Amino acid sequence: MKIGIIGTGNMGRTLGGLWAAAGHEVFFGGRRPEAAGEAAVRNGTNHEAASFGDVLLYCVRGIDPADAIGDRDVLNGKPLIDLNNRAIPSGFQFEVSPSSLAETLQTQAPNAKVAKAFNMLPQEVFEIERAELQDKRVSVLIATDHQDARIAVEILAHDLGLNPVNAGPLRNARLLESAADLVRYLIARTGPGPLAILSVPLLTSATGSSRFGGRRPSELDGPEPQRIFSVGQHLRVESSGQIDAPVDVLWSFVSNFNNIAHWHPDVIASRLESGTGTDAGSVRNLRLRNGMCIRERLLAISPENHYYKYSVIESPLPMRDHESLVRFTRLNGSRTRVTWIAEFSATGGDAEALANGVKTGVMDLGIEGLTAAATSGRKEV
């Protein structure tokens, strides 16, 4: 991705440097270009950074983009990640705000795609190696009203070794900013120090019979509260592999959502029910070798950044709330890494067996199919 960093404080300097090391193109901006020069070779004004980036990181707290950048129109249509928190009050006497900095930013830049993220993690966390952050499943909560902004943040979080968590619409930035106030209070007042974080670990369900009889009906009997306790066990599965083929060659196989039968060994037929296969919202109907039929919807696709995201909307498998991200990363001119990540809730049966089946039968097998297609060409259907 091409990332513009608006402001070169601790977080902007650190995150921009990490993303540059991960292979992204990064431009550091500042109101004083000489300050941006301390962060990276590619630097200039905030306006130049905003013009450069397909995704923007907004690191200037409480400043209208018209003042920070000079031209709001340069933000139009771009994911704008707000990681700011309010100033710490005297005595750490935080108060709950009826709105959020992110919502204010969205009002100030109405045609940008504002996402709240990274505001709950102190800079010191990013001094830790990626592998350790990944092992500890350190979370990044994301609040936005825009699907493509959420996906951009998810990808950038993955590249840092972090676990992205969907925190709902931008309105929930109020919750994230209050949570960041709590983190800062804990750091400064109760002793954990600057590596204190709030994360969202996923526990496995208790095995065997319930020790206390399970959840019983209560005042939480309404449909929305009850959904909290009926979503099933949430699972996250990941597969990746390196293929000896240029990224553009591999992307040509997947650039149309309906082409899956030409490269995935388990899919014998695919037909579009709606859309063109290249636009978000397209729905495909798949027939597998075992006769199973599955319907999937394309949520987002980026030919420029070589990724697409889709959801399973109908399947005989015991799952719900499914989303998968398939991403192609150029390693050099002739080698590409494919990363496939799926998240869903198991609604019955053996959750571990379901997760293993998705990994081996969908993701691993799909990457094998792409490898074969790169070598021998598309399979006939």
What is the reported pLDDT for 171?
97
pLDDT tens digits for 176-206? 999 999 999 999 888 788 888 888 887 776 6
What is the reported pLDDT for 268?
96
Q: What is the pTM of this model?
A: 0.87
In the chain, domain spans: 2-190, 230-376
Domains 2-190 and 230-376 share a fold: no
Mean pLDDT of all residues in 259-276: 97
Q: Which token pair is 317?
A: 């498998």
Residue 329 has pLDDT above 90, yes or no: yes
pLDDT tens digits for 367-381? 999 999 999 887 777
pLDDT tens digits for 86-109? 999 998 898 888 899 999 999 999
pLDDT tens digits for 209-260? 667 777 676 666 666 665 666 566 889 999 999 999 999 999 999 999 999 9
Longest pairwise C-alpha distance within the chain: 69
What is the reported pLDDT for 224?
64
What is the reported pLDDT for 142?
98
The CATH class of 2-190 is alpha beta
What is the reported pLDDT for 316?
95
Beta strands, E only, the chain = 2-6, 25-30, 43-45, 55-58, 79-82, 113-116, 139-144, 163-166, 233-243, 267-274, 283-288, 293-302, 307-314, 319-332, 335-346
Q: Which amino acid is at 144?
A: T
Q: What percent of the chain has pLDDT over 90?
A: 75
Residue 274, Cα to own-chain centre: how many angstroms? 26
What whole-number distance in Å separates Cα of residue 96 and Cα of residue 118?
Answer: 19
The stretches of the chain forming alpha helices (DSSP H) are 10-21, 33-36, 46-52, 65-68, 101-108, 130-135, 147-159, 173-185, 223-228, 247-254, 351-358, 365-376
Pairing of strands 163-166, 233-243: unpaired
> Would you tell me which CATH number, out of the four given (3.50.90.10, 2.102.10.10, 3.20.20.80, 3.30.530.20), belongs to the domain 230-376?
3.30.530.20
pLDDT tens digits for 130-187? 999 999 999 999 999 999 999 999 999 999 999 999 999 999 999 999 999 999 999 9
The stretches of 259-364 forming alpha helices (DSSP H) are 351-358
pLDDT tens digits for 28-68? 998 665 554 454 568 899 999 999 999 999 999 989 999 99
* Whether the Cβ atoms of residue 361 and residue 259 lie closer than 8 Å to each other: no
Angle at 288 between CA 354 and CA 323, to 5 degrees: 50
Q: What percent of the chain has pLDDT over 70?
A: 91
Contacts of 279 (CB under 8 A, 6+ apart): 298, 301
